[in-house]
Each structure stands twice: as structure tokens, then as C-alpha cells.
Amino acid sequence: MRPRAALPRFPSILFLLFLPPVFSSSSRPQWVPQRVPVVLAQQTEARSAPHFLSPARLDVSSPCDPECHKKAPRPSYWDLQRLLAYETLNSDGQLTETAVAIYGYDPNTSPAYSSGSSGKAQRSHVRRKRQVFGHDGRFSISGQNHLLKYPFSVAVKLSTGCSGTLVGDRHVLTAAHCVHDGKNYVKGAQKLRVGFLKTKHQDTQALSFDLSSNFTNHVEGGHVPYAPPTNDKMKFQWIRAKRTHVPKGWIKGNANDIGMDYDYALLELKKPHKRRHMKLGVSPPALRLPGRRVHFSGFDNDRSGKLVYRFCRAGEETSDLLYQHCDAQPGASGSGVYARMWDGQRRRWERKVIGVFSGHQWVERQGASQEFNVAVRITPLKYAQICYWIKGNFVDCREG
């Protein structure tokens, strides 16, 4: 892959590369309402207490490339019920498993829905993991006027070292590997905490612009140039997680062997976080995304104590995974990948989480090495499941 050339200073970047697109009312990228299936909890049984022995991995990898995923056999209806069954870990250490029923879904007429657990790609003997592609295109976000306002305020840090995204009044979406290694729950998962980044003191320097017309608005279609915010000393305010939901599609064995299709989890906090959260959305085809771009913010571990924002062009995709070259480092996994499009029903622009940043893939493909950073797409079935976890009923989860 060709490295990206070094980029000029901020104003030049925005003026030359990210001039806002002009859309007519009929051509602007829109969220398309769709009826989603029902994933309904059935029987719940107690399971033996987890061990909590292994440290959490801050990234996962898989040798299965896009073609490998596309060639995987389509799961049957019964396979999907098994994959979407889930475990719930409570803060007191009790563990349950819940079977689910699926209604309103026909795997024979739906898009291919690969499990990602089969197919092989040839590995090279020399492996060089790279999660920053060419010039590092990440932006550190700081300053109270930024961190405490939407959309950056929805990004949170997990005590296991990953990132997450607020998707409810007390719910956080993250990656399953942040709490479970595929075999058992990781060290720290029972006493999991979620950190909200705040400044240690009130900002004394007034900033020249408001976040309502910030950098992300510009690259998503706004008009105001970006100026780097001031740096302030930061701290985390922590809230304990009350329970954690993990789909059984992730819990099969070693995380490297099962792909990334089910690498997502939902945390319920012990008390409301009192911040604005981001809505869930069913992942649209990459071609329908504005500029074909995706965005996410997280806490990369090479920039300690800083929130890091990035955006990039979405690449290949399968029904469950989105491949891209968004620059990221361990610690960013679990971040909510989002897009901003027009909501015709509410008559406004709306950001929605359409995936979860999972990790890295490095494969030999047609004699050449290729690398991807990978996000798990929120499919209609996954939307129905996650929404049910948040709402506690299926009635409020019929439209994605």
C-alpha cells in the first residue's frame, strides 16, 4: 500500500480536501428507515462463575480476509439463534446464559450473513503489524468546550483499557474482546468501570468557535475551519458497570479463531451518566455513506489521557464487517464507528453508530500482503439484539 503523503496544516487540509458537499433535498445522503427482525429473550439459565484470569487484549486479529468471509457458508435460522444467544455477567460475579428466538427474519432472502469462522488465508512468515497507514491522520481532542460536548462526549474509556460509546442513558457499546477472550471473562471484567474524561479545572481561555460548528461537522458537511484546541490536564470520572451482555457468537473458543463478526458487547451502568448518547443505526452499504467516510473517537494507548478522533474512507465490506484504513492503536478498539446523514422523518442531520471498531487483519492475498483495520457492522439482527438489551422490549426496536 502506498503511504499517504504528509498533510499540510489544518486550514489547508480542510479547504482543499473537505469542502462541504452540496446536496439537493432529494440527493443528500439519508438514513433509510427499515423494519428490523425481532430478537426475543427466551429461557435464561445460570452458568458457573467465570475465572477472570487472563488480561484483556486491547486488539484482536484474524487471518480471514474479505474473500474468506464472503465464502463462508450462510448460517441457518437455527445457527443464528445459537449465535445471537447471549451471556450476562453481573457485577456480583453471577453469570447467566439466555436463549433467543428470532422472528421476522428469513436467511434465504436476506443478504449473505457470514459467521466469519471458516475459510483460510495464507500467512507469511514475516509479520509486521501496522495500524497507522502512512501519515498518522489522528487528531487529539482536548479542552472542556470539546470533550464535554457532543459528539466527542459519547466516547468513554473502559477500565480494561478499551474504549466504548454511549448508546443509552446508562448503556455503553464496546467490543466483546474488551471483556471476554473467547474462552472466559478477562481480569477486571467483574469490577468493570467506565471512565468519562473531564477537565481538572474550568477552562480559562475562551475558544474562538463553538462545537456546534466543529471539525467533525466540517468533514461531515459543515463550513467552519478547524483550529487545534488548547491542552488541559484531564481526569476520568468512573462509573461501575452493573451487567455485561456478550453474544454467544463470540464465545466459542480462542478469539483469533472465530473472526470478528460478533466482537461486540453492551454494558449497563449502575447509574445514569447524564450525557447525551448516540443513537444506533443499521449499517448502510459503504457506497451510501457521505463521502464513503466513517468516523470514530477512542482512547488510543499511545496518547495517554487524550481522546483521539479520526475519519477515513470505508473500503471493502462483507455483510458483517467493514474494512478501512482509519489510523488506530490498541486502546481504540470498542469505539463506536458512526456516520452522519439526513433523517427525513425528524428533518435534521443525525449521527448514528453503525459499527464497533474491532481490530486488525493482516493477510497474504494474491501473493501480496494486505492489512486492514476492521469494524463490526450493526446488521438488522444485531441492531435488534442490542436494542433489546437497551430497551428491555422489542416494541421499541422494530425500526432501525
User: Annotated catalytic sites, by residue?
Assistant: 177, 257, 333
317-340 burial string, b = 16+ CB within 10 Å, else e? Answer: bbbbbbbbbbbbbbbbbbbbbbbb
Alpha-carbon distance of 356 to 210, in angstroms, equals 28
The neighbouring-strand residues paired with 235 are: 198
In 303-367, the DSSP E strands lie at 307-317, 321-324, 336-343, 348-365
Partner residues linked to 102 by β-bridges: 39
User: Whole-angstrom Cα distance, residue 357 to residue 361?
Assistant: 12
Closest to 296 measured CA to CA, from 282, 278, 284: 278
Instruction: Give the count of beta carbons closer than 10 Å to the beta carbon of residue 391.
Output: 13
What whole-number distance in Å separates Cα of residue 189 and Cα of residue 244? 9
Measured CA to CA, the distance from residue 151 to residue 148 in angstroms comes to 9
What residues contact residue 274 under an 8 Å CB cut-off, 6+ apart?
Answer: none
DSSP secondary structure code for residue 344 in this structure: T
Instruction: Determine the Cα angle at 109 with ends 105 and 115, to 5°.
Output: 70
Rounded-to-integer distance, Cα 26 and Cα 68, Å:
37
